[in-house]
Structures are given as structure tokens and as C-alpha cells.
């Protein structure tokens, strides 16, 4: 794909993601995406077979960006400490700071948005969404497992459940932030999870 074509495809996806996060997938039409991206209908269908194909591409791009984002922060945290618990605490602190530095409330999460409207999608999109959630679980659980090799938790834990709790805190924080119009709600939920880990392992 040439540079011009790739730029057009990126513009379509950026436009579509912004509208979908505001209005939902069902409430977003191809015509609206075309108008806002300033392309022709032929230009849209050159890149995507339809809305479902667009959804799959959007989700793939979103998850890849999240993977890079989380891993960059985690690698930075690992460079700042050799202790696995401190690495996770630093990671959560840096993550909360990144959320606080957003220019406005978090725009929303495509994984959550597509979950709410799962009846709109084919099995490929549904499975990709599940893969995204599981990839978050895997990343967080790997670090939590290393922590449990060095620290005895104050009560019985399951690292997969604890990893999912972090995802739930982030998704819930996004909802609170948007509903209440409070930019720091997401960061606060991440920091509450951080406090939970400190209480669990440090006492």
C-alpha cells in the first residue's frame, strides 16, 4: 500500500474511532465517517468491505497501541527498580500520571464500546475483543506472578483474577471519568489498585 493510500486509511480509522466512541457503533454510519474523513464512498470501500471490516481493523489497531503503551511503561518501571513489587507500583504510578496528563477526560475504550454492542459484530470481532482482554490479563498476571515468587500475600490470591481487577479498575475509571466529567477519576482508580497491592504484599 502506498503512502497516500495508507494515510487515507489511517484518516478513516481515526475519524471512525472518534465518532464511534462518541455515538456508539450502531449510531455511526458509513456516510458520516466518509463526510468527516473527507473521502469518497469509493475511497472507503477501497480500504474496507463494510462496517464490520472497519471494526476489526479499528480493534486491531487499538489493541496494538495499548500493547505498546503498557509495555513501554512497564519496561520503564523495570529499569527503575529490580524489586518486582516496586516495579509494579512504579508502573501503576506512571500509568496514573499518564492518564492525568490527558488534555480532557479519557475518550473511551473501544474494547468496552464493542462489548456493549457485541450484537452488532461477527465472530471475528468478538473473538478479537476477547483476545484483547486476555492479552491485558497475561501482561499484568506475568508481573504479579513474579511478585508472588518474592512476596507472601496477606491472603490467598489468584494472579489472573488480580490482573482482571486492574482491567476492571481502568474500564470502570473511564466510565466514571466520562459520566462525572472528572478527569482524575481514572487515575484515582488506578492508584486505589496500587494501594491494594501495597496492603496485600507489604502489609
Query: What residues does each domain of the chain span?
Result: 1-48, 50-201
Given this model, what pLDDT does residue 199 score? 96
Given this model, what pLDDT does residue 165 score? 98
**Residue 67 — very low, low, confident or very high, per pLDDT cuts 50/70/90?**
very high
Q: pTM of the entire structure?
A: 0.91
**Residue 102 — very low, low, confident or very high, per pLDDT cuts 50/70/90?**
confident
Given this model, what pLDDT does residue 1 score? 63
Q: Does 107 have pLDDT greater than 90?
A: no
Percentage of residues in the chain with pLDDT exceeding 90? 84
Q: Which residues make Cβ contacts (< 8 Å) with residue 128, sequence separation at least 6?
A: 56, 59, 60, 63
The lowest-confidence range among 5-9, 62-66, 93-97 is 5-9
More confident residue, 106 or 152: 152
* Averaged pLDDT score across all residues of the chain: 93
Average pLDDT over residues 165-174: 96
Percentage of residues in the chain with pLDDT exceeding 70? 99
**Residue 203 — very low, low, confident or very high, per pLDDT cuts 50/70/90?**
low
Average pLDDT over residues 52-56: 95
Chain segment 122-140, per-residue pLDDT in tens: 999 999 999 999 999 999 9
Q: Does 57 have pLDDT greater than 90?
A: yes
Q: Does 17 have pLDDT greater than 90?
A: yes
The fold for domain 1-48 equals: Arc Repressor Mutant, subunit A (1.10.10)
CATH superfamily of the domain spanning 50-201: Tetracycline Repressor, domain 2 (1.10.357.10)
Amino acid at each position: 500500500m502506498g503512502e497516500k493510500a495508507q494515510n487515507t486509511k489511517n484518516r478513516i480509522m481515526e475519524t471512525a474511532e472518534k465518532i464511534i466512541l462518541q455515538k456508539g457503533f450502531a449510531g455511526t454510519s458509513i456516510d458520516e465517517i466518509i463526510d468527516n474523513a473527507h473521502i469518497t464512498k469509493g475511497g472507503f470501500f477501497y480500504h474496507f468491505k463494510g462496517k464490520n471490516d472497519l471494526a476489526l481493523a479499528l480493534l486491531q489497531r487499538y489493541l496494538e497501541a495499548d500493547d505498546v503503551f503498557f509495555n513501554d511503561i512497564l519496561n520503564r518501571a523495570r529499569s527503575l527498580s529490580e524489586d518486582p513489587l516496586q516495579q509494579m507500583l512504579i508502573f501503576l504510578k506512571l500509568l496514573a500520571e499518564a492518564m492525568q496528563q490527558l488534555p480532557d477526560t479519557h475518550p473511551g475504550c473501544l474494547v468496552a464500546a464493542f462489548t456493549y454492542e457485541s450484537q452488532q459484530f461477527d465472530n471475528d470481532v468478538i473473538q478479537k475483543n476477547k483476545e484483547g482482554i486476555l492479552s491485558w490479563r497475561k501482561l499484568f498476571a506475568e508481573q504479579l506472578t513474579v511478585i508472588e515468587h518474592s512476596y507472601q500475600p496477606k491472603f490467598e490470591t489468584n494472579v489472573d483474577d488480580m490482573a482482571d481487577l486492574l482491567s476492571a479498575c481502568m474500564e470502570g475509571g473511564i466510565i466514571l471519568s466520562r459520566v462525572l466529567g472528572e478527569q482524575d477519576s481514572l487515575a484515582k482508580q488506578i492508584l486505589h489498585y496500587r494501594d491494594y497491592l501495597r496492603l496485600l504484599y507489604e502489609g
